[in-house]
Amino acid sequence: MNSAANPAWPSLPLAQWQDTYATLHMWTQIVGKTRLALAPMENHWWQVALYVTPRGLTTSAIPYGERTFAVDFDFIDHTLWMRTSDGATRALALAARSVAEFYAEYMAGLRALDLEVALMPSPVEVQTAIPFAEDREHAAYDPDAARRCWQILLQTDRVLKRFRGRFLGKASPVHFFWGSFDLAATRFSGRRAPRHGGGAPNCPDYVMVEAYSHECSSCGFWPGAGAIAEPAFYAYAYPEPAGYADHVVRPPGAYYHREMREFILPYEVVRKASAPDELLLGFAQSTYDAAAEHGRWDRAALDRPQDEWP
């Protein structure tokens, strides 16, 4: 069966949901900054990421004194849930409203749960960082588009978890970074990397210095923007070793983007494939091969034998 007819991998042209995407990006930043404010520091900022669930995205458990709480985006019922370990719950409808309104209602919901949180008041990793309390520009919400985005994240999460199981070295969870609105899985060689130069818009350089403190190879999904005006899977290495850009990767349709310094696989190539899982696994594996071979990683120590791959 051609997966173009498979609802598990739905169509999501960027031009058809850009306004909703921009609004949802800000909403996930607000919720993600709650984790940033309260969760203990972890390497590479892993404590701030969100995670895919059977219904949307979650913060997972956030500590608050002797209590914990979680915030969940539900893209089936289109509700934001705030739940505490002592049984209290608040809900916020996911519907068309400005970022400023969402921010005010969200903060009021936290206070109603006796959660006092001081959030960084502006977004990061975007060219124009409007403070959340003042952002009335982003106010769109198409529930069908939001649901389709989550469906793609759900499928990508499932496949990348299989890929993660092929590696014995240090590897990140499959997690969603709200700063760049992408789902990523990262492998590490075990060696320290040259100091990163920073440069992400409206983001302190120390963020990227911590994120890229060690050599890595990363793969993930992104809905697109700027130089890539379509949803796509991506892969990159830091630092990029000589020869990486010219490495032949799978599948046909994948290419190296010289400006972004990343391998790109358009989402439509995967969506329309007869075996999308295997196509995406081939991209993840071959781009990792490029990083590990040209970067001279200790593959005998780091790679799970192929006959043991999940």
Query: Is pLDDT of 226 > 90?
Result: no
Exposed e or buried b for every residue in 274-307, given b needs 16+ CB within 10 A?
eebbebbbbbbbbbbbbbbebbebeeeebbeeee
Is 0.95 topped by the overall pTM? Answer: yes
- Let me know: does 286 contact 16? Beta carbons within 8 Å: no
For residue 3, what pLDDT is reported? 42
Confidence of residue 1 (pLDDT cuts 50, 70, 90): very low
C-alpha 256 chain-centroid distance: 20
**Span 158-175, pLDDT tens digits:** 999 999 999 999 999 999
Confidence of residue 239 (pLDDT cuts 50, 70, 90): very high
Query: Is pLDDT of 2 > 80?
Result: no
Confidence of residue 252 (pLDDT cuts 50, 70, 90): very high
Confidence of residue 182 (pLDDT cuts 50, 70, 90): very high
For the residues 60-80, what does the mean pLDDT come to? 98
User: What is the residue extent of each domain of the chain?
Assistant: 13-134, 143-308
For the residues 209-216, what does the mean pLDDT come to? 98
**What average pLDDT does the structure give for the chain?**
97
